[in-house]
Structure 1
């Protein structure tokens, strides 16, 4: 492909987005450059500390439980207090708790602080995605979410390789490095990001902008269906940081080997996320989500046949393509179905699906690997991918055409209301 065409494509991918988005993007990149705990906790516990896969699964499950506990609370805080204060509180507390975890020695203390880390690190997600929906125009959101996901994986690709090498010498250095970079994210948010929460139009009357509570979210049938399917997809993808390192460790591979294999996930997303997003940006989300669910399930299922580093990397490439398609498409769908003044709560409920998966996936992986073997785990991912694909196909029939913003949440099982208004907070 000519260099000029690549340059024009790159410019088109990043043009037209507000400055605040790019500071939020930078904060995301810095945060993921320090990603250590979620990636290497399993190897830290099983290889460095000598605990069983079941104990490692329990600790990661507590980490996931922390995310479950904080998801909805953080969503409410995002709507009530604002995006910026929620982000600051989450990042400062995450920096403290991650540093503390590195010094824990007793198993009970490790488990307790892992719960705290899960609570604090997950609390920033509803605020980040709600702020992104606030400041980016509806027609640009899939692209914006894709660029943000690209930043996540650019940081992840670098950190997975570097942290894998660091882990060979000192896991404590990895914990302290993540804490430092998370603290830097808090500084960026404080200095560069203004509050973006939409101002409620009281002059229009209560009927024009009805209040949105957690009950409103739960009664939104289509949205809760998306949350359920997101849970299944999350259960599959979480095995990349839970089941895969345990299986590779049991097969005799080192932390550095796993770091190199999983780094291919981030590298491939860095190379393909932007061009693939330009290709799928205006295509049917139903088909995209169905295909990505099947690719995710069967990509992980292929791990049962891997025996060398390159074959493990090949399976990672398959389910990475599913990530590239699924993540921006699904996040765009969530923003599309969320009322303007309920974005925090809707994003909190969506985040909850990932948090519950983070809670259950380690338990599932540890139990299945210890008692049945890794082959059964990878077979289960194929089944989950098939179920999720079918669910997306059924749920997204007659999906309303993309408009601007939904003011009121729909009734249970109904499509979003037709009455919409432009995003008053868009930059």
Structure 2
């Protein structure tokens, strides 16, 4: 099967032959390519930097707020907000793909920003820990809708040839936003206290992101249809007419490439959940001040974000598999260094290693999904992948919290390091080829 044949199955694109997609502005027919869509691409990069900044408002401050304002001593209790965030974001990642195929990308992006509006207010004024947990449910919903949609929209715009570069730029913008905001909130908390100053920054990001998404972002779903018309299927399951259940099963279990990528994404965010929830507590218990904790909390996503400017494009040239395997092993080395260290400079080196390994993995995993999934169900495959990936936040919060309560933070970090190395080996043995392309589609 080739062209657009078969792409109107359950949950698929539904488009009358001569009509425009809902949400489109009048204009010329769509053209694929980074250069051809540069203005919209740069705008979406900026939007995702704001998405990352909205998340970054919590990275330094919230673990300390749990102990200081709410007197939560057990690590498992303090990590409930990451569990709530991870579960809600994972579920919304899945629905973001399905909804964007049905209603268009832009409405889903706008809905995500609307869900974020109450978050800074709840973090500032919440009188009980339940308010903080509820705020993170909303934050997870927002992040699932906004970040997933910016990923899909960039894939739509650039087409198959520059997908790794596109994902590198997208994830770099998002995690540099996380890093800069984590650093800024550390200084704000040091100067003005844990509340409200750090969370006012998040409120400003939400206002700007919502305005840009409503006023300037254009729909991209018709670009995906154009790409679908230029694809030839290499395997029977690659055609467009797949149900949501079939896409879920393929991405999660049946396709060797997609399933290997999904488990690696889950373990990657498992160790990110550990870093988010326990690292600031570990650093504070060792006597580091808020400014030093802010630097360490920012270094990891800063290297992660900046590194993706290189690694995403490198995966286009060298292939996906090698970068994924190597990146998981580098992450494991960084985590092991954290577990074995007790002072600022070794921890800073470990944060750099952890960020470098994550930079090698993060855009490459997304690009690998785009390589294998047909454009007609790619948004849903990305949603399923991100469902598994961000459920790692919840698994990481539970696993690391329980281990930290029982054996201490160092043991929890060492256990996650071993799990991360094992995940890299799964990719090495399960994912075929350089890009995992067997079982997928290829452009003509």
TM over 0.5: yes
Give the C-alpha shift of residue 68 in structure 1: 2.9
Alignment match, 1:366 = 401
**Change over 3 Å in CA distance of 1:108–1:279 after alignment to 2:** closer
| 1:214 equivalent among 231, 245, 250 | 245
Alignment match, 1:45 = 66
| 2:81 equivalent among 49, 59, 72 | 59
Alignment match, 1:233 = 268
Q: Distance in 1 between matches of 2:51 and 2:241?
A: 36
Counterpart secondary structure, 1:312: helix
Correspondence list, 1:17-416, <5 A: 18-34=38-54, 35-52=56-73, 53-168=75-190, 169-170=192-193, 171-198=195-222, 209-220=240-251, 221-222=254-255, 223-269=258-304, 272-398=307-433, 415-416=438-439
Does the 8 Å CA contact 1:231/1:357 hold for their aligned counterparts?
Answer: yes
**Change over 3 Å in CA distance of 1:162–1:113 after alignment to 2:** closer
Counterpart secondary structure, 2:210: helix
After superposition, give the CA deviation of every residue in 1:259-278 in whole Å (9 maximum; x if it has no partner): 11122224434654434555
After superposition, give the CA deviation of every residue in 1:79-134 in whole Å (9 maximum; x if it has no partner): 11111000000112112233233211123333333323222322223211111110
Aligned Cα RMSD in Å?
2.6
Does the 8 Å CA contact 1:293/1:326 hold for their aligned counterparts?
Answer: yes
Give the C-alpha shift of residue 136 in structure 1: 0.8
TM-score with structure 2 length normalisation? 0.81
Greater Cα shift, 104-113 or 256-265 = 104-113
Give the C-alpha shift of residue 364 in structure 1: 1.9
Give the C-alpha shift of residue 32 in structure 1: 2.7
Give the C-alpha shift of residue 393 in structure 1: 0.7
Q: Distance in 2 between matches of 1:275 and 1:255?
A: 31
Does the 8 Å CA contact 1:300/1:378 hold for their aligned counterparts?
Answer: yes
Does the 8 Å CA contact 2:180/2:298 hold for their aligned counterparts?
Answer: yes
TM-score with structure 1 length normalisation? 0.84
Deviation >6 Å, runs of 4+: 201-204
Give the C-alpha shift of residue 280 in structure 1: 4.7
Give the C-alpha shift of residue 212 in structure 1: 4.0
Q: Distance in 1 between matches of 2:341 and 2:169?
A: 31
Q: Distance in 2 between matches of 1:101 and 1:334?
A: 35
Give the C-alpha shift of residue 399 in structure 1: 5.7
Q: Distance in 1 between matches of 2:90 and 2:364?
A: 23
Q: Distance in 2 between matches of 1:160 and 1:181?
A: 13
In structure 1, runs of 5+ residues without a counterpart are 1-13, 403-414, 423-427
After superposition, give the CA deviation of every residue in 1:122-171 in whole Å (9 maximum; x if it has no partner): 22232111111100121111111112222123323321211101123232
After superposition, give the CA deviation of every residue in 1:376-398 in whole Å (9 maximum; x if it has no partner): 11211221122111111112224
Give the C-alpha shift of residue 176 in structure 1: 2.8
Does the 8 Å CA contact 1:95/1:180 hold for their aligned counterparts?
Answer: no
